Amino acid sequence: MHNRAEYRPLEGFVLAITPFNFTAIGGNLPTSAAMCGNVVIWKPAHTQIYSAQLFMRILKESGLPDGVINLIYVDGPVVGDVCFSHRDFAGVHFTGSTGVFNHMWETIGKNIPKYRTYPRIVGETGGKDFVIAHKSANADVVATALLRGAFEFQGQKCSAASRAYIPSNLWKEVKQKLAEGINSFKMGTVEDFSNFINAVIDEKSFDKIKAYIDKAKKDPKASIVAGGVCDKKQGYFIQPTVIETKDPKYVTMCEEIFGPVLTVYVYPANQFEKTLELVDSTSPYALTGSIIATDRAAIELATKRLSNAAGNFYINDKPTGAVVGQQPFGGARASGTNDKAGSILNLYRWLSVRTIKETYNPPVDYRYPFMAEE
């Protein structure tokens, strides 16, 4: 006999829904499914329209046939009503908020009887990404990881460091370095590459982030230790902000803000293991996280205890900046389906396997040899 398998595209179309904050993801979500032979409908975020249309122009100039990837500009509810009700809907490739993804999953589930096949649901959603420093950590390493990890791209990354657990023996030095770093940040428009901080994406985002900062300024459970200035007179600029809280379950330790806001909880230096449990249980998300330490035993302990707390885990580095081909990206729990965009694991999601068995010497009698009488 000859046994073989063939990899087919899905029977139907794939819907790709892309976010504003990573142009590369905007290109990856529709093209990964198309590379596997699927027809794709691509709906970008309304704040990503310019880069999406430019990417489509590049694809067409490179030889992409018409009708393979179909870029559309409509509101989310409109594309949902049409695509999620269509008999030929075969899958969705999504990056965006957890709330939207949950609603999409619920809608798809209710519409199962309408579909020709069970749709593939692939999503990378929110994060409340952590950095935990051990008492053996170098303060400069901790501060740098936080300054970069929390504030690059104005914290508008699902992977951005937004909660930090700092041991009491390091906090005074780390706190000073964070304040010095924030005060040295140059802020301005993207045309000047020397600006480390730019504006957040739009006014809606500005108002949401500012509301968290304003609440922290008035809350006795929190204090602003650096930054905190918000100004939209000439663009939606928010100064990177560090909040210190004595409540490890404070709102900014738990909720995704998607802006340049880092909340720090200072833990007793001798309670590292207890704090690992806190890190694992505080947030519903499990996207990225990092451990910073020079003690190898502490690194091994954190890596093991936090095995389900982050799909991308970093040791002595910031929890952002995954490189395709080096650190396949994605998380679980409320952070998505962990299908690792940019990897072969993700590509397999857009394929349907058919197994073929060909028999060269087929049987001519229904009886099996073991059935014969002795």
Which residues form the catalytic set? 124, 158
Q: Of 218, 214, 221, 267, nearest to 241 (Cα)?
A: 214
DSSP 162-194: EEEEEEHHHHHHHHHHHHHHHHH--B--TTSTT
Please enumerate in sequence order all residues whose Cβ is within 8 A of that of 371, keeping only pairs 6 or more positions apart, or say none: none
Q: What is the CA radius of gyration of the chain?
A: 25
DSSP-assigned letter for residue 222: E
Helices (H) and strands (E) counted in the chain, each on its own, are: 11, 18
DSSP codes joined into one string, 229-293: -EE-BTB-EE--EEEEES-TT-HHHHS---SSEEEEEEE-TT-HHHHHHHHHHH-SEESEEEEE-
Helix or strand holding residue 206 (H, E) = helix 203-218
Residues 6+ apart with CB under 8 A from 65: none
317, 361, 324, 323: which is closest to 141 by C-alpha? 317
With CA atoms as reference, report the closest residue to 244 among 145, 176, 156, 154: 176
Phi, psi of 75 (to 5 degrees): -70, 150
DSSP state of 329: B
d(CA 197, CA 151): 8
Please state, in angstroms and rounded to a whole number, the distance separating the CA atoms of residues 180 and 5. Answer: 60
CB atoms within 10 A of CB 116: 13
